[in-house]
Structure 1
């Protein structure tokens, strides 16, 4: 599981919307959504802020049971200085694959529970 996927998973496990998470981080919803989609390099300081907001250790957010290789992006363009890029190393072993599948099933179950609650609300409104 990549970092942006872990961030999304952890946010969803707290039942927070992207808008709520963006507000907690003091950023735009669009900017936060780009992080969750993996469309932007995330500064180390922002990763620290995300971990704190999710109430997890930064190392937990970055490793989550997998081995990762980190490298610091450096160069003349200050916009890209001090950004962390992650690259998955090796293949996931069977237990990590199973853990990933379990996490996906948890998200599917949670989504179905939310849909059921929504449908119950609609039914109650239609009865009135």
Structure 2
């Protein structure tokens, strides 16, 4: 469920029409309906305002029913939110590749530990000779 769909769900759960919600947020009905349809990209301040009207935590709204990674970036007056869904195909593929790399590196570490033990034993035998 996208953030815009969650906003609609929360509005409907309160029994509010789009007109009522638009008025509470200070937008035109057309402007607010574009938010619910996902046709308008929300900035942090608008999202915060909607969450205040809905009396709902902004972070909870963005993660409601999902396991997402949320990245906030704030630079002066510019704010951006990136929501990454870990089930997206590219990320699943990248995670699989990283797991394979980790597994391979673990094997290399074990081989190096064995080599170190062998070299330590060789050094010990040379010292005793």
Same fold by TM (over 0.5)?
yes
Superposition deviation, residue 64 in structure 1: 0.4
The yes-or-no answer on 1:84 pairing with 2:87 is no
In the other structure, the counterpart of 1:10 is 10
SS at match of 1:31: helix
In the other structure, the counterpart of 1:49 is 49
Mark the runs of 5 or more structure 2 residues left unpaired by the alignment: 89-129
Structure possessing the higher radius of gyration over alpha carbons? 2
Label 1:87 to 1:35 Cα distance change in 2 as closer, same or farther (>3 A).
farther
Alpha-carbon distance in 2 for matches of 1:30, 1:85: 25
Structure with the bigger RCO (C-alpha within 8 Å, sep 6+) is 1
In the other structure, the counterpart of 1:23 is 23
Q: Which has the higher helix share?
A: 2
User: How many pairs does the alignment contain?
Assistant: 87
Question: Cα RMSD (Å) of the superposition?
Answer: 2.2
Question: Given the two structures, how large is their TM-score scaled by the length of structure 2?
Answer: 0.59
1:74-113 alpha-carbon deviations (Å, 9 max, x no partner): 9xxx9xx42434343316xxxxxxxxxxxxxxxxxxxxxx
Alpha-carbon distance in 1 for matches of 2:82, 2:34: 15
Question: Given the two structures, how large is their TM-score scaled by the length of structure 1?
Answer: 0.59
Moved over 3 A (4+): 69-74
Label 1:72 to 1:58 Cα distance change in 2 as closer, same or farther (>3 A).
closer
